[in-house]
Chain A
Amino acid sequence: MGLTTRSVAEIYAARLQRGMAARWREWGELAIQALLFFAAMVSVFTTLGIVAVLVVEAIPFFQQVSLVEFLTDPQWTPLFAQKHFGILPLVAGTFLTSAVALALAIPVGLLSAIYLSEYAPARVRAILKPALEVLAGIPTVVYGYFALLFVTPLLKRIIPDLETFNALSAGLTMGVMIIPLISSLSEDALYAVPSSLREAAYALGATRLEVALRVVLPAALSGIVASFILAASRAIGETMIVAIAAGQRPILTLDPRKAIETMTAYIVQVSLGDTPHGTLEFRTIFAVGLVLFLFTLVLNLLAMRIIERYREVYR
């Protein structure tokens, strides 16, 4: 019996010591953690890499073109003999298409969010919400051709002097594309407002509209504003629709009937064109890309700040 002289207490105590299996388990945990961390870092490093490339490539550009010229010259003609490097026409083009898009998407998106959250019966909501979100899944190139081949001819019947490529048609189509972004995020914000607030308002004799507009909407306002900002950021960065339907003519105008060129469309034009790499003309796209990146970065940070504040409202 010499082999089994250990007491039960000793056996239980020994089990508390880490054996081989436990060691393997710990290594496994570490490996999984490392893998997950690496996965999370991929997008972070990619973003950092993109920013680095933009900055590195933009530096030689700004050594040849002064920042003052870049920001104030009213002409953008890097691909012509008479070169001007003023980004304002491209910024104006981006601003114009985005403004048209938001002018359509904000009211329609917000109203559909209010309908879905405050008016729609549960069954209607269950069908309509995913249906709206499908709009966001349509490839933007399809939207682009839709704008050029359907929306523009339609608009031409109402506005005869509309150019074939124009900011209006591209902007409106882009607006349709970002409606689901606004309606979905705004609806989330509205729906998250505690129903106890709605009950309180109803119990004071408020009508459905008063409950929606005076209680739920203000309580969800920061989430809604954040959705507008994200939509704006999306509109500014949108490329395909404007490249196809808005034109490639960088002129400084705020007339939506005219052909214009956005920052994104310009980058497409140069990177797909025959401009030789390494030249000043080619480097313009990094300068434009940097500006574009800064615009969307600022908007996204702003939206994040607003959403954070919104989270603190209900404890």
Chain B
Amino acid sequence: MEEIVLETKDLTVHYDGRPAIEGVNLKIPRRRITAIIGPSGCGKSTLLRCFNRMNDLIPSARVSGQVFFEGVDLYGPDVDVVEVRRRIGMVFQKPNPFPKSIYENVAFGPRIQGIRDRRKLDEIVERCLRAAALWDEVKDKLHQNALTLSGGQQQRLCIARALATEPEVLLMDEPASALDPIATMKIEDLMRELARQYTIVIVTHNMQQAARVSDYTAFMLAGEDRVGRLIEFGPTQQIFTRPRDRRTEDYITGRFG
């Protein structure tokens, strides 16, 4: 039996009073890669953004239900959002490095946590860039603007930046959809490597990617009412070879979506 890091209970999100996802019950196992798949508009990203409370930034969003992280309800009354986001990092669809140097991008998280010691920062920057498989490519130009890197490098820099706050979980929202196939492959290799130490939840519309990298797969679908629901969750191999739900089978065999 896998150890569970994140668990949602009857999670529902409304935008402007209209439900976007409804009644999601999902358990995310520790140090595994869990893929959330489904057609556009099924609420995958909305679900992902519940895990680090990014939906808080959207004034019209209302979250009900519970998300337990290490047994604590993230939507409970005394939860420190800042601490939640440090421990549950996020990588976005489009690489979004700050228009600062490569070094400052990675050092951003530690700096806002109050780390000023240069040697400590140097050490963190190197460790995270190595972990993101970027160190060898950038070690001679750490003080160059991050925007001079290629798209794939920028995305790995964003991963390094997320690792620098020492999170336990990494949320990835279609992290390779803006990248070419070779850069995508590097990101996927990196994810497998990172899964030894981190729990990864990835949203992807690319089923092959989900099949290649993930241990578990959650399939979401929006019905006629355009409200996203979790249809099926299980080990990736089972979802892709012996899906229990007819709709899952239809989706993965490409009959719609």
Point out the residues of chain B lying under 8 angstroms from A218, CB to CB.
99-100
Query: B32-40, B63-71, B86-94, B248-256: which lies at the A interface?
Result: B86-94
With beta carbons under 8 angstroms apart, the residue of B86, B90, B98, B109 that contacts A219 is B98
List residues of chain A with CB within 8 A of the CB of B108. Answer: 201, 204, 206, 214
Complex CA–CA separation, A201 to B90 (angstroms):
10
Among A194, A202, A203, A314, max chain B CB count under 10 A is at A203
Point out the residues of chain B lying under 8 angstroms from A205, CB to CB.
Answer: 82-86, 109, 112-113, 165
Bitwise, A199-212 to B at CB < 8 A (1) or not (0) is: 11111111100100
One of B5-13, B20-28, B52-60, B221-229 at the interface = B52-60
A197 at the binding interface (Cβ < 8 Å): yes
B interface residues, tally (CB under 8 Å)? 28
Classify chain A: how many residues form its interface, as a range: 20 to 34
Given the interface pairs A202-B57, A205-B86, A210-B112, the reply to whether A196 lies near B147 with Cβ below 8 Å is no
A225 shortest CB reach to chain B, Å: 15
Contact A200 B99 (CB under 8 A): no
Contact indicator A194/B112 (Cβ below 8 Å): no
B82 and A219 form a contact (CB under 8 A):
no
CB-CB contacts of A103-130 with B at 8 A, as 1s and 0s? 0000000000000000001100000000
Report B88-118 CB contacts with A as 1/0, cut-off 8 Å.
Answer: 0110101011111000000011001100000
**Closest CB-CB distance, A108 to chain B, in whole Å?**
27
Selected from B57, B84, B98, B162, the residue in CB contact (under 8 A) with A197 is B98
Contact A204 B89 (CB under 8 A): yes
In the assembled complex, A280 has its CB within 8 A of some CB on chain B? no
> CB-CB contacts of A179-197 with B at 8 A, as 1s and 0s?
0000000000000001011
> 16 A-B contacts, Cβ less than 8 Å apart?
A121-B59, A196-B94, A197-B98, A199-B92, A200-B98, A200-B161, A201-B108, A203-B52, A203-B92, A203-B162, A204-B164, A207-B82, A210-B112, A219-B99, A313-B99, A314-B99
Query: Nearest 7 A-B pairs (CB), nearest first?
Result: A205-B86, A203-B90, A196-B96, A205-B85, A204-B109, A200-B96, A205-B82
Inter-chain pairs besides A204-B109, A205-B83, 16 sampled, C-beta below 8 Å: A194-B96, A196-B94, A200-B92, A200-B96, A202-B54, A202-B57, A203-B162, A204-B161, A204-B162, A206-B82, A206-B112, A218-B99, A219-B98, A219-B99, A313-B147, A314-B99
